[in-house]
Chains A and B, each alone.
Chain A
């Protein structure tokens, strides 16, 4: 699916950050852009002047290594100054290779996979207990679904009928070593979530209109947690990074490679 100007703009910001620091989980960030864009543009309720506003929707990037996409979206929304991007992973910056709660707009420190979802269960249980209507969105990766804690949390969310909890899977089909189907096969993936008691919908995770539509209808079903399986492409939008595991995490990115990223983005 062709990218619109805003999707290209956000990816350009990711490349600008890479240009400054020359490292990062590139593929995992690029597959996430539309998911985070739609969440922060169209779905989440928040107040950039009061990031801890009690009524805000909570959003946890459980696949914390995709943080470059989150950071550019949070800057775009005004949570913190863009200068922080140029200090990504630097000793005087607040932005690390995985998001931490010291960053305005970040709800939980993540990075070790399988942690954000159980924390989201706690958020959602609290909302039920307090009878408040904030929603909790947890963005997880498909490789992250190798973790047993994901399925422990899924059972728990289902048991408590957490229809205020929406799990979004960035199903880009790849993890560090190779295709998810080869490393640890998740299929039948949607059926698994159904069996765990979730209301399930699958969507093209780069189709902004379709994403808006489905995320505008959550929860999909009363008394059930929702999972949206977003079919995405690792490295989406830049030909040389798409499905290319060399870009899962890359350091020492050269001037030439930065130039290639910019050029490939323009023709995508």
Chain B
């Protein structure tokens, strides 16, 4: 996905002279082709995120579209006030590309793990927040970043993520995507967790449960209409995200559910990182398992909430240790 993201910056720059690239201190050779062919629009400005955001704002005020790329924690936490004031308040067309969204940098520890990027950027008026699920969806999202008003944060995952998005479901910034319908439960995903949602749905289908999956690549603006329509008649809603359970997809969905006044009560569960800093190293996958962000856990939760006898039996047999 990261490779696709940067390739798209190059492609967009080739066809649109408004596109500038600003990195902080990225790996050697990053976007070398861009640098060789369009050096006047390529900037590598060092470990100075506050200045970089301001500089990008200045360029955007002059009609340019800067794509700013660095590690997600530094692009969100470090220069948060610059993002709020320079980009949000001025409502500028700057694109923030945050590498390693979620637990990608597990071996590097909590300073590099972007477990709160979606939450903190979601609080900024005018900001759009997108977490694509794979390289293909990143491609579709990037194509729409040229002619879109206001700042955008794009969460970039690790790379080599399996392709789970579909060509026949049109991506549009601000739209939630119905991947599969289902009346017994609904799984809402963002970023790479779509894979787990689809896997859980397939497992549960074999066991006789119809579980829908709605993918929410755009966390903000949240597609309330589609989400509320999809949730209306479903008794169980589970959100999955590689992010703190506070303020990301689960938090955003909880907010709209709380005000929806549904006609019947629902079971609701947020699957994500609890309110802690990761205290283990290892791999992205091992930390995901540590925090229960797994297909198995989603299956377990839906069995637990589903009131059928069969589900209760499965839950007792498979998940109650």
Residue of A nearest to B84 (CB): A112
- Interface size for A (C-beta < 8 A) is 28
A78 within 8 A of B: no
Contact between B58 and A123, CB atoms less than 8 A apart = yes
Residues in A with CB closer than 8 Å to B45 are: 156, 159
Contact between B58 and A119, CB atoms less than 8 A apart = yes
Residues in A with CB closer than 8 Å to B57 are: 108, 118-119, 122
User: Which residue among B53, B56, B58 has the maximum number of chain A CB atoms within 10 Å of its CB?
Assistant: B58
Contact segment of B85-93, B172-180, B237-245: B85-93
Interface string of B53-89 (1 = CB under 8 A from A): 1111111111010000000000000000110011001
Query: How many angstroms from the CA of A203 to the CA of B30 in the assembled complex?
Result: 44
Query: How many angstroms from the CA of A148 to the CA of B319 in the assembled complex?
Result: 53
Which of B51, B64, B89 is the one whose CB lies under 8 Å from A153?
Answer: B51
A103 within 8 A of B: no
B46 within 8 A of A: yes
Contact between A121 and B51, CB atoms less than 8 A apart = yes
Contact between B54 and A109, CB atoms less than 8 A apart = no
Residues in A with CB closer than 8 Å to B59 are: 122, 125-126
Residues in A with CB closer than 8 Å to B81 are: 112
Nearest CB of chain B from residue A148's CB, rounded to whole Å: 7
A37 within 8 A of B: no
Interfacial residues, chain A to chain B (CB-CB below 8 A) = 101, 107-109, 111-112, 114-126, 129-130, 148-149, 152-153, 155-156, 159
Q: Which 6 A-B pairs have the closest CB atoms?
A: A122-B58, A118-B54, A152-B51, A152-B48, A149-B50, A126-B62
Starting from the known contacts A118-B52, A148-B50, A156-B48, 17 additional A-B residue pairs (CB-CB under 8 Å) come to: A109-B90, A111-B85, A114-B50, A115-B85, A117-B54, A119-B86, A121-B55, A121-B58, A122-B59, A122-B62, A123-B61, A125-B43, A126-B62, A149-B51, A149-B54, A152-B51, A153-B51
A–B complex contacts, Cβ < 8 Å, 15 sampled: A101-B90, A112-B85, A119-B54, A121-B51, A122-B57, A122-B60, A125-B58, A126-B62, A129-B41, A130-B62, A149-B51, A153-B54, A153-B55, A155-B51, A156-B51
Interfacial residues, chain B to chain A (CB-CB below 8 A) = 40-41, 43, 45-46, 48, 50-62, 64, 81-82, 85-86, 89-90
